[in-house]
Amino acid sequence: MYEYLETADPALVAAGKLKRVAVDPVSRVEGHGKVTLLLDEDNKVQQARLHIVEFRGFEKFIQGRPYWELPVMVQRLCGICPVSHHLAAAKAIDQLVGVDPANLPPAADKLRRLLHFGQVLQSHALHFFHLSSPDLLFGFESEIGKRSIVSVLADYPDIGLQGVKLRKYGQEVIRMVSGKRIHGTGAIPGGMNKALSQAERDYLKQDIAQIVVWAQAALQLVTKVHTSHLPYYDNFATIRSKYLSLTKPNGALELYHGGIRVKDEQGETLVDHYDYCDYPALIREEVRSWTYMKFPYLTALGKADGWYRVGPLARVNNCDFIDTPLAEAARVEFKLHGGEAMVHSTLAFHWTRMIELLHCAESIEILLDDPDLLSSDLVTKGEKRHEGIGVIEAPRGTLFHHYQIDENDIVTKANLIVSTTSNNTAMNESVRQVAAEYLSGRELTEPLLNNLEVAIRAYDPCLSCATHAVGKMPLQLELVDAEGKLVDKLIRHSNGEFIHGSE
Amino acid sequence: MSGTLCIDGIAVPFSDGQTIIEAARSAGVYIPYLCHRPGYAPYGSCKLCTVKVNGRTNTACTLPAADGQTVISNSPDLQHDRQRITQMLFVEGNHFCPSCEKSGNCQLQAVAYHQNMLDNHYPHFYAQRELDASHPDILIDHDRCIFCNLCVRASKEKDGKEVFGIAGRGIHKRLIVNSPSGKLKDSDISVDDEAAHVCPTGAILVKRSAYLAPIGERIYDHHPISEVACEKAVLDTQAAKGHASCDQAQLAGQVPQNSGSDSHYAASMPPAPDIKHGR
């Protein structure tokens, strides 16, 4: 709807009539990105872009390494959701040793789920309390000194402390299962390397009831914030989109393993229970010259219409129900709020994130009573295969890991479609919406520009996770003499084609 | 010949044929090393165990113990040199502890912790070294080879084969495999050979055994290498009785204690099962 703002009229750019405003870096997100605006003489926005300017390259440098290193190496992509990468890679390498999800020992399956509930719990708490609550509690255009967790702790000490402790509990779940709060080891090909000891299980059990209560409080808080600022919260940065997520076979919300479901803007199901191992037929990625992050789209619908959103909003919108009672009650209330089949409000990402936070807390409480967590039957093996695909619902959305290996167990090919990448078009569209609806024609001030960041933050982007392609970025090299005159030029297009020559 | 020598003010008895490092270890005194291994012929290449013996510089792994020797191991100068040697080993190869499967079980990493190595100090070489994954059960990651020669000695002395050798000199030094193709798959190594298990770093690995030991159960998770390298029984006795002093009061003032806790996880993890040194 706001695509016209992706690229300004080249004639205006060439005439030097546009002024440039940059938000660099975008703050309170993971990784490094910037927003640029091009404004005309009347401060009307002519172009708005979210650029991801860092480059990670994991897809390239894991090639040539043995496959069993993958879960431990690729989790270093991120310090916020390493477990999700760890487990997506683990699911892929399970297949390399001939183990499909259904054949994983129940203890290993449940330990991985527990690990992942801990991950989503801590990541959602981090995002809501540490990164976004300053905007939500103090207002989007509050003064810059206010907009941090430090001010939240000063003005709302109970809320701030609960956030810190919720996150800590998620980290402790991760530590008990994988040995460290960040970047542990746990999943190995075909299973897990350790069970929980009784002492570790009891340690986690002693606080879980309190965690469920705090998660409810967090959900109440976000619900109150959202519903007391209507229709502003429903409209801000809001775009109508398709949604992609995993669901259980019975249609329930799922974070660890399920089939792909896609629903369109009206809530019609386009794809359901789709085997994620066939994802290359479902999704393609487009490269654009002005950012290192790719633009995935549904192949059948094409580049223009095939983009979609992933993450908490997609998952809660897509699922038929949530299989824990408190979160399910919250989901029902949430869906009624929108008044139509799908809730498109971008700020509702926060609301659904807290519904999932509660779901994680409830699920951990249930899992901790499962004796399988203490079982020593942790690993299974099958026939070696040369290709493995693992897909998981990371905190920020559907995460794809795809590897091929040779006869010597060495990785020859890797493809990662990271959650944030799937939201690339949507984040840009939300940035353009805010630029067009809230900024265009006004004198820009720092608090006003924070609106752009609020829009991006709703998606909880992890920019450092999301930039991996090597050799596919278009590249332009210019040789300029001392007078600034172009002497020579070399362009490499995204298809690898070189064009050489001075103008 | 047997008798007593003095290491950093501690009286260390030795028996016939022991080197200084062997005598020290038997007495629960740790001198850092990488190319040495108990039960193997002395080699003396890594120079980490360099000590001052009666004022002269020697490698403790090659010099026979003798009665009345005065050995300084823990002086600031020697510790500084050891840290620099360790740093050189790190920058010469490509060592990425965060994703290395040997992490927590790696002698090089443990020595680096012991030496309080907090950075590389020297610029990285970014050496271009190839992986040899040709063997069905054993992997060579040349990136992590420190040329300690242990695999060469293990193959020759323990396995009765000659699978490995060190070729070239200086910066061109490299681990080579004795096979027509130079690949491990064409050698006569077997996964049960000692040479497949002796590597102090992650250069020679048994395939598909990565990360089987969870964090908290790895060799150096709860005990620094200065403890792991010595016999537990000896350390226990020591803890009860204390070191025997060799009554050289003039040393006591200038020698720092062999300080311990260089494990990252010691404070936060539940106690580990009894861990023995070795593979």
Question: Rounded to an integer, what distance in angstroms lies between the CA atom of residue A240 and that of residue A262?
Answer: 14
**Domain A58-426: which CATH number of 3.30.420.40, 1.10.1040.10, 3.30.750.24, 1.10.645.10:** 1.10.645.10
What's the confidence (pLDDT) of residue B121?
A: 94
CA atoms within 13 A on the CB side of A234: 12
Complex-level ipTM beyond the 0.95 threshold = no
Which residues touch B241 (CB under 8 Å, ≥6 apart)?
Answer: none
Q: Name chain B contacts of A78, Cβ cutoff 8 Å.
A: none
Q: Which residue of A has its CA nearest to B265?
A: A180
Q: Name chain A contacts of B211, Cβ cutoff 8 Å.
A: 68, 71-72, 185, 188, 193
Q: Name chain B contacts of A72, Cβ cutoff 8 Å.
A: 98-99, 101, 210-211
Cβ distance B211 to A185 less than 8 Å, yes or no, reads yes
Question: Rounded to an integer, what distance in angstroms lies between the CA atom of residue B96 and that of residue A464?
Answer: 20
What's the confidence (pLDDT) of residue A465?
A: 67
Q: Name chain B contacts of A410, Cβ cutoff 8 Å.
A: 131, 133
Structure tokens at A438: 């809230």
What's the confidence (pLDDT) of residue A6?
A: 87
Residue type, A181: R
Find out if CATH 3.30.70.20 is the number for domain B101-206.
yes
Q: CA nearest A399: which of A59, A77, A85?
A: A85
Q: Does A380 touch chain B (CB under 8 A)?
A: no
Cβ distance B270 to A185 less than 8 Å, yes or no, reads no
Alpha-carbon separation of residue A5 from A36, A50, A434, A437 (angstroms): 11, 12, 11, 12
Strands B10-14 and A475-480: unpaired
Q: If you count DSSP H runs as helices and E runs as strands, how many of each does chain B have, helices first?
A: 7, 10
Helix (H, G, I), strand (E, B) or coil at A309: strand
Residue appearing with tokens 């996964």: B191
Question: Rounded to an integer, what distance in angstroms lies between the CA atom of residue A178 and that of residue A174?
Answer: 6
Question: Rounded to an integer, what distance in angstroms lies between the CA atom of residue A262 and that of residue B11?
Answer: 75
Q: Name chain A contacts of B270, Cβ cutoff 8 Å.
A: 197, 199-200
Phi and psi based region of residue A345 (left: phi greater than 0; alpha: psi -120 to 50; beta: remaining): beta
Q: Which CATH class is domain B2-78+225-238?
A: alpha beta
Cβ distance A200 to B270 less than 8 Å, yes or no, reads yes
Annotation: binding site of A for Ni(2+) = 78, 81, 462
Asked if A201 contacts A374 with a C-beta cutoff of 8 angstroms, the reply is: yes
Q: Name chain A contacts of B99, Cβ cutoff 8 Å.
A: 69, 72-73, 76
Q: Which residues of chain B have pLDDT under 50?
A: 249-279
Q: Does B213 touch chain A (CB under 8 A)?
A: yes
Domain regions of chain B by residue span: 2-78+225-238, 101-206
Q: Write out the residue limits of the CATH 1.10.645.10 domain(s) in chain A.
A: 58-426
Q: Which residues of chain A have pLDDT under 70?
A: 53-54, 464-477, 491-496, 501-503
Q: CA nearest A69: which of A411, A465, A468?
A: A411
Question: Rounded to an integer, what distance in angstroms lies between the CA atom of residue A133 and that of residue A148?
Answer: 8
Is the peptide bond between A325 and the residue preceding it cis, with omega within 30 degrees of 0?
A: no
Q: Which residue of B has its CA nearest to A72?
A: B99
DSSP conformation class of B154: I
Q: Does B206 touch chain A (CB under 8 A)?
A: no
Partner residue facing A409 (CB), from B133, B213, B216: B133
Q: Name chain A contacts of B133, Cβ cutoff 8 Å.
A: 66, 408-410
Mutate to test the interface with A, among B99, B103, B140 (most CBs of A within 10 A): B99
Residue A132 — φ and ψ, nearest 5°?
-105, -25
Measured N-to-C along each axis, helices A446-458 and A424-434 cross at an angle, to the nearest 10 degrees, of: 150
pLDDT digits (tens, 9 = 90+) for A411-427: 999 998 888 889 989 99
Angle among Cα B151, B156, B162 to the nearest 5 degrees reads: 85
What's the confidence (pLDDT) of residue A466?
A: 62
Q: CA nearest B200: which of B186, B217, B220?
A: B220
Mutate to test the interface with B, among A185, A198, A380, A412 (most CBs of B within 10 A): A185
Cα Rg of chain A, angstroms:
23
Residue B139 — φ and ψ, nearest 5°?
-120, 140
Partner residue facing B139 (CB), from A66, A184, A194: A66
What's the confidence (pLDDT) of residue B273?
A: 38
Partner residue facing A76 (CB), from B99, B134, B214: B99
Strands B164-167 and B174-177: antiparallel
Which residues touch B259 (CB under 8 Å, ≥6 apart)?
Answer: none
CA atoms within 13 A on the CB side of B66: 7
Q: Does B24 touch chain A (CB under 8 A)?
A: no
What's the confidence (pLDDT) of residue A449?
A: 84
Shortest Cα distance from B69 to chain A (angstroms)? 45
